[in-house]
Structure 1
Amino acid sequence: MKIQNKFPKFNKDKHNELLSQGWILIKEPKNIITSIIFSIPLMIILGLISWSIINIFSPINLNILQINHGSFSITINPIYILIVFIFIYIHEFIHLICIPNFLTSNNTFLGLTWFGGYAYTEEIINKNLYIKICFMPFLLISVFGVLALGLLGGLTPIIKFLCIMNAIASSVDFLNIILISTQVPNKSKIVMNGNSSYYKKII
């Protein structure tokens, strides 16, 4: 595993090599901004799912908003910003540990970027594992985490906020799941090249 602050770049030579070997380019957004825009409906859906699970145990109190006579202000404790960034890395670390042999792989990366962070691998993985890697942070934090903390009475306001933010942040992961599920046949392998993904059916 390597740690770096820039997302791996698209390699034209690798692209041509993959195509010559029978890999098929997956149609997907080519940058994070476009991915976020396409993911907005998923942000709403996933946020509402997490919100609904939290409300089973404890109503959400929006006390971060101070509303007075038709106007409002937002009070944010600076420590919350640090906690949010820690949670971003927890989210990415969950992705990372789902990648086989991530510690010894020279093609797997954990990065710090302007949008927080990323986990990325150029190892060849199968379709089902790819979907699992995308799905796990939402499942572990915003579903199982909420259920466990709800049963234990540990859903504090900041934890509620972070679980909902994690669900919203998982929207790009779910967009990837949709793209892979609709374009890649079962029993296929997937490999990354920068922001581009390719698949090849297992023979």
Structure 2
Amino acid sequence: MKYVRKLPATDRQLSNQLIENGWKKIKEPRNFSLAVLFSLPFSYLLGSIILWLAYLLKPTLFEFLISDVLSISFSIDFKMLLYILFVFVYMLIHELIHAVFIPNFTKSKKIFFGLNGLFGFVFTTEPIKKERFLVISIMPFFLLSLVPVFLLNLLGFLNWYTLGLCLINAVGSCVDFLNMFLIAFQVKSGHTIINNGFETYYYPMQNIT
């Protein structure tokens, strides 16, 4: 796994080579900005799921919604700065989880990670089966948003600070779910996927683990 400063650009020569060898390009947004735009419905859906679960587990968190007096205050202090740091670390863990589920992530030279502004990213040009790709995409949401809500409530630590981390991660998983949606409906089971910059190709190879 290598560190890079930005997402790798699309290699046109590789794109042509893949097409000549029988790979097919999926229909997807042409750049990151469009991907974020098209993923907004998933953002609302995932955020709503986490809030709904939190409400079912601990309704008292939402009592302020029916209170006659609503008071909101905001201040920047050491605790707030520390919380922002936690959010940043949580985002990096999100990307690390993606990487862990990529085959041979400790040895592969085709896996890249880095920071793009305030956001981290993991990118690989390793060929991956459809089913593994779906697992790679969903695990950060599952491990950092869905499971923690239940564990935090069980341990008595579910509050708006901890729920906020789960919620931010859930909303930030929207592009992952957009990619899952595109792959799930365009690529058949057992087919192999490969990324080339912002382009994704698939081919019916069965020998990739």
Unaligned residue ranges in structure 2 (runs of 5+): 65-69
**TM-score of the two chains, using structure 2 as the length reference:** 0.88
- Residue 113 of structure 1 is matched in structure 2 by 116
1:158 and 1:24, CA in 2 relative to 1: closer, same or farther beyond 3 A? same
Q: Which runs of 4+ in 1 moved over 6 A?
A: none
Superposed CA RMSD: 1.9
Deviation by residue 1:141-169 (Cα, 9 ceiling, x = unmatched): 11111111211112232210010111111
User: Are residues 1:195 and 2:195 paired?
Assistant: no
In structure 1, C-alpha distance between the alignment counterparts of 2:61 and 2:37, rounded to whole Å: 27
Kindly state the Cα deviation for residue 73 of structure 1 after the two structures are TM-superposed.
5.9
- Residue 26 of structure 1 is matched in structure 2 by 26
Deviation by residue 1:83-123 (Cα, 9 ceiling, x = unmatched): 11111101111111000111110100111111411011100
Deviation by residue 1:152-190 (Cα, 9 ceiling, x = unmatched): 112232210010111111111110011001111111000
Kindly state the Cα deviation for residue 61 of structure 1 after the two structures are TM-superposed.
5.6
- Residue 184 of structure 1 is matched in structure 2 by 187
- 8 Å CA contact 2:55–2:62 kept in 1: the answer is no
> Residue 139 of structure 1 is aligned with which of 129, 139, 142?
142
- Residue 104 of structure 1 is matched in structure 2 by 107
State the aligned residue count.
Answer: 198
User: Are residues 1:55 and 2:55 paired?
Assistant: yes
- 8 Å CA contact 1:57–1:151 kept in 2: the answer is no
In structure 1, C-alpha distance between the alignment counterparts of 2:181 and 2:20, rounded to whole Å: 26
Secondary structure of 1:117 counterpart = strand
- Residue 11 of structure 1 is matched in structure 2 by 11
Identity of aligned residues (%): 38
1:151 and 1:199, CA in 2 relative to 1: closer, same or farther beyond 3 A? same
In structure 2, C-alpha distance between the alignment counterparts of 1:43 and 1:60, rounded to whole Å: 22
- 8 Å CA contact 1:61–1:157 kept in 2: the answer is no
